[in-house]
Amino acid sequence: MNQEPVINQTNNILNQGIQGVSDAISSVKNQVSAAFNDFSSQPNASSEFSYSNTIIAKFAFLLLVIILFMYFINLGINLISYYISPGSNPYLIRGIQQGTFPLQIPQNPNATGSITLMRSNNESTGAEFTWSIWLYIDDLTLSNSKSYQHIFNKGDAPSSANNGISLVNNAPGLYLGNGGDNSKPINTLHIIMDTVGVAVKSNNNNSTTPTSSGMKNETLNNGFMNPSPGTIDIPNVPLKKWFHVAIRLENSILDVYVNGTIDQRQILSNVPKQNYFDVFVCQNGGFQGSLSDLRYFNSALNVFQINTIVSKGPNMETSSQYATETRLKDYHYLSSLWYPI
C-alpha cells in the first residue's frame, strides 16, 4: 500500500496551519502599527500628550529634589549632633581607680575635663535615668564612725559637718557606712535622691506648720514644704569582692539593684530633683577599696540591660583620670584586684 499520498496530505495541512498563524500575527502587527501611525499623524494629540508628560516629569523631579534635600538636611543635623552633643550614656570613669582618689567632674562643657550629662529622658511616665558602678570594698575602718564614706554624688561637694553627706544636692548620692546608727551594720550602702519642695498655703510666711487640709505633717520654710529626700539603705554589702550597683529612677520609683537583682525600692513622695552641678567622686578621703566604670544612662534600664552589664564584669584597666594624676598605667600584677571571682 502506497503511504506517500497520506504523508503529503499531512504536510500540506501542517504548512497551511503555520501559514495561517503567521498571517494572523502579521495582521495584528499591521493593525497596531496603523493605529500608532494614525495617532502620530494628528498634531494636536501628539503635542497635548508631550505637554502632559512634561508637566508630570517636572513635578516628579521637583518632588524628588525636595525629598532628597530634606533627607540630607536631616542627615547633616544628626551627624553634627552626634559629633558635637554629649553622649546620652557617657562613662564618667571608665576603668578602675582607688576609692581614696578624689575627682570632680565638671558639667560645664567649656571646662577642662568636663563630661556633660544630658538631663533625664522625660518619657510619658516622667523623668528617668540609671547610674551604674562597680565597687570593691577592702576595709571599713573609719576615722569617724559617725560619718559616711563618700563614693559619688551629683550636686555640691559633701560636707564633713553633715556626717560626710552633701548638704544641698544629691541627685543621686551614694555613700558607705551607717552614719553612727549602730542598729545598722557598718558595711551599708546609703543612697539619697533629693526631691523638689512644694509650695503650700499658710497664714504666716514664717510659719512652720501647714494650715491647708490634707497636707503632710512636714516643716515649712517661708511658705515651702521642706522635701523629704528618698533614702535607701543596703546592709551587708560584700567585702573584698567586686559587686555591681545600679541606681534606677523611673518617674517617682527609685530602685537599687545589686548584682543585677533588685534589692530595695522606694516610692518618692515628691518630684525627683535634678540639677546641673558637678559630679563628685570619693571626696573627704573616699573609702578603702576601688571602683570601676561609673556610668550614667539618661533612661531607666530594664532588668535585662542591667544584667548584661553585670555579666561583663568590672573593667580592670586603669582609668585615664587615675593614670594621668598618679602616673600609674596599671595596678601591680600581684594585686588581688586582678582576680574578681
The reported pLDDT for the residue numbered 17 is 61
pLDDT at 321 (0 to 100): 86
pLDDT in tens, 217-226: 445 555 555 5
Q: Alpha helix (H) ranges present in 41-124?
A: 43-84
341 pLDDT band (50/70/90 cuts)? very low
Confidence of residue 6 (pLDDT cuts 50, 70, 90): very low
Task: Find the mean pLDDT for residues 316-336.
Answer: 71
pLDDT digit string, tens, across residues 33-43: 665 565 555 55
Q: What is the pLDDT of residue 56?
A: 81
Write out the three cell numbers for 125.
511616665
Residue 293 has pLDDT above 90, yes or no: yes
Q: How far, in Å, CA of 99 to CA of 286, rounded?
A: 6
Q: What grid cell was written down for 160?
A: 564633713
When comparing pLDDT for 302 and 28, which is higher?
302
| Least trusted range by pLDDT, from 66-70, 169-173, 230-234, 333-337 | 333-337
What is the share, in percent, of the chain residues with pLDDT greater than 90?
40
Residue ranges per structural domain of the chain: 11-36, 42-85, 92-194+229-338, 197-226
pLDDT confidence of residue 287: 94
pLDDT at residue number 77: 82
From residue 193, alpha-carbon distances to 57, 103, 166, 219, 249 in Å are 62, 21, 11, 19, 9
Position 106 scores a pLDDT of: 95
- Of 196-205, 259-268, 306-315, 330-339, least confident by mean pLDDT is 330-339
pTM exceeds 0.75, yes or no = no
**Mean pLDDT in residue range 152-173:** 86
Q: Is the dihedral of CA 245, 179, 127, 74 positive or negative?
A: negative
Alpha helices in the chain (DSSP H): 4-40, 43-84, 303-312, 320-326
Q: Does domain 92-194+229-338 have CATH number 3.40.50.2300?
A: no
175-188 per-position pLDDT tens digit:
999 888 888 888 99
